[in-house]
Amino acid sequence: MPRTPPGPQPSPSHRLDLRGCSSGWALLKLGQLSRGLSPGQRLEVLGSDAQMARDLPMVAASLGLRLLNLGGGRGEYRFRLIKQTHPGPGEAQASRPVSTTITDNPKEKTMSQLLEQVPETSHVVDARGSACPGPLLEAKKAIGAVKVGEVLEVISNDPGTKGDIPVWATKVGHEYLGHALGDGCERIFVRRKK
């Protein structure tokens, strides 16, 4: 990943301070701001969420932003990005995962995929307001009502759910498809395989 080179850097035309924001909220705000940027405009993003720091480079690419450099330390991150004229090679397509990150947490040794386009679901579990392990228990109960090959959507605002559901799905033989950002929540998708 590029690091800040020595010497003066051009000033960004926009600054987005996301320190204290969760990864999902931060990436949503980045998406909103990037739509208003013109090609060549520079953006500086400040953050303090480690998951955001891992996801941002891949999400930025899908938004037509190129990472110029990365700085920070002591739990704070600074990304400098530039809006590209058109997508670069190897960037995500609309129906593919925007972000693919392997987490460092042993409990979450699974892929975290931020989806731009959500799959069609046959069953939805709204677990907002339910604390861990509530969303996982509700997903385990609901998967029985889903036919093989169909998709279960779990909506949760508990931060642990995004790590718990993929681990559980993989362990029991279902397919974790990824997650999407909702309004103050995560939408997690699992395809029943057996």
Instruction: Note the Cα 2 to chain centre separation in Å.
Output: 21
Quote the CA–CA distance of 89 and 94 in Å, as a whole number: 14
Report the catalytic residues.
132
Q: Are 2 and 9 in contact (CB under 8 A)?
A: no
Q: Where are the alpha helices (DSSP H) in 64-191?
A: 134-142, 161-172
Tokens found for residue 97: 């995962």
CB count in 10 Å sphere of residue 70: 18
